[in-house]
Amino acid sequence: MKIVKIEAIPFAIPYVKPLRFASGEVHTAEHVLVKIHTDDGVVGVGEAPPRPFTYGETQAGIVAVIETVFAPQLIGLTLLDRERAQQRLQRTVGNPAAKSAIDIALWDALGRTLNQSVTALLGGYTDRLRVSHMLGFEEPAKMVAEAERMIETHGIRTFKVKVGRQPYTLDTVVVRTLRERFGNEIELYVDGNRGWSATEALQAMREMSDLGLSFAEELCPADDVLGRRWLVDHLDIPFVADESVTTPAEVTREILGGSATALSIKCARTGFTQSQRVHHLAEGLGLEVVMGNQIDGQLGTMCTAVFGAAFSLTSRRAAELSNFLDMSDDLLTDPLEIHDGELVVRQGAGLSVEIDESKLTHYRLDQ
């Protein structure tokens, strides 16, 4: 079970349509595939999606930090040295996606070695999650049409609507149009990606107060400390912290400081080990949790499903598992499928996925 090699492979796969939101837009999945090799011949995998406009990481930066900093520190450890591996990863600041992909690959390799699914190793609560679909910036009619397609094709009935534009009425009109079209047939919540001020956010939320929204996520910047606390105090639905809670310590700060009342857990940001710690904090504090999506490919999506299905708390709400549907291709030999609004977690060893090496050769950028 000794780690003998760590690879960081950059690849790029175009999206059929870009996803647009307040902090940027994504046209191509320029991700990094991480492979961890052991002396037993086992290979664990993880996917790092860089989000420079959110966490400051780039594809080249992820490859560089893994090859020059993390790999030399981890080679020689065993798959059971998880706490030692975490200590070595965490003494380097930042780099959440790079750290998370390594951590996920370690868990995948461990599951493959033990012939157990990672979901079972983490908690094994269920084998499926309901799916929430993200609707990015578009004209109201196009967003309604996309929601109709998701309902008809995949049975998805929970939608996260991206908001945060100026004027805020561009977004409130969209949310109202969706509710008027589908009524109580669908669940809706909004995500501002820090695009509004606290004042704009409250005005927008008051305009949408009759629309039965489940959550509001990151409507204004976390560093607007007083404004955000004021906003949370005036809302009557849970306020989800996402980009502002990249570590367990930040979770504690945001919740105890009154700047949020619920959490988004993203395995692409906190891996499995740190996500466990965030989950335990949420459980102890009585917080609602949403399993979020960092515009992941199918490998990253399966990681989110694997973790979300492991615990009761993380499986209560629909998880954001559908962004891969907008990619033109992917790396898995057996593509993921969403039926009747659910994604089933496979029960094979590790993450229960395999990389199509011919596709990786086609899309990788380092050869």
* Residue 345: alpha-carbon gap to chain centroid: 16
Burial 101-113 (b: 16+ CB within 10 A, else e): bbbbbbbbbbbbb
Place of tokens 């989110």: 304
Q: Which residues contact 314 (CB under 8 A, 6 or more apart)?
A: 265, 279, 289, 291, 307, 308
Fold of 3-115: Enolase-like; domain 1 (3.30.390)
Place of tokens 């070595």: 88
Tell me the mean pLDDT in the region 231-243: 95
Instruction: Read off the pLDDT band of 136 (50, 70, 90).
Output: confident
Q: What is the 3-state secondary structure (H, E, C) of the chain?
A: CEEEEEEEEEEEEEEEEEEEECCEEEEEEEEEEEEEEECCCCEEEEEECCCCCCCCCCHHHHHHHHHHHHHHHHECEECCCHHHHHHHHHCCCCCHHHHHHHHHHHHHHHHHHHCCEHHHHHCCCCCEEEEEEEECCCCHHHHHHHHHHHHHHHCCCEEEEECCCCCCHHHHHHHHHHHHHHHHHCEEEEECCCCCCHHHHHHHHHHCCCCCCCCEECCCCCCCHHHHHHHHHHCCCCEEECCCCCCHHHHHHHHHCCCCCEEEECHHHHCCHHHHHHHHHHHHHCCEEEECCCCCCHHHHHHHHHHHCCCCHHHCCCEECCHHHHECCCCECCCCCCECCEEECCCCCECCCCECHHHHHHHECCC
Write the pLDDT tens digit of every residue in 334-363.
999 999 999 999 999 999 999 999 999 999
The C-alpha atoms of residue 332 and residue 208 are separated, in whole angstroms, by 40
> Tell me, what's the pLDDT at 23?
65
Contact 36, 9 (CB under 8 A): no
pTM above 0.85, yes or no: yes
Tell me the mean pLDDT in the region 167-192: 96
pLDDT at position 240 over 90: yes
The C-alpha atoms of residue 52 and residue 35 are separated, in whole angstroms, by 22
Residue spans of the domains in the chain: they are: 3-115, 120-344
> Tell me, what's the pLDDT at 19?
78
Structure tokens of 293? Answer: 């999506």
Tell me the mean pLDDT in the region 227-243: 95
The C-alpha atoms of residue 186 and residue 309 are separated, in whole angstroms, by 22
Q: CB 248: neighbour CB atoms within 10 A?
A: 17
Class of domain 120-344: alpha beta
> Tell me, what's the pLDDT at 367?
86
Write the pLDDT tens digit of every residue in 84-111.
999 999 999 999 999 999 999 999 999 9
Amino acid occupying residue 219: L
pLDDT at position 20 over 80: no
Q: Is the peptide bond before 167 cis (omega within 30 degrees of 0)?
A: yes
The C-alpha atoms of residue 266 and residue 300 are separated, in whole angstroms, by 10
Alpha-carbon distances, residue 114 vs 32, 41, 63, 189 (angstroms): 26, 13, 28, 40
Give the residue numbers annotated as catalytic, written as ranges.
162, 191, 217, 242, 266, 294
Contact 204, 235 (CB under 8 A): no
pLDDT at position 183 over 90: yes
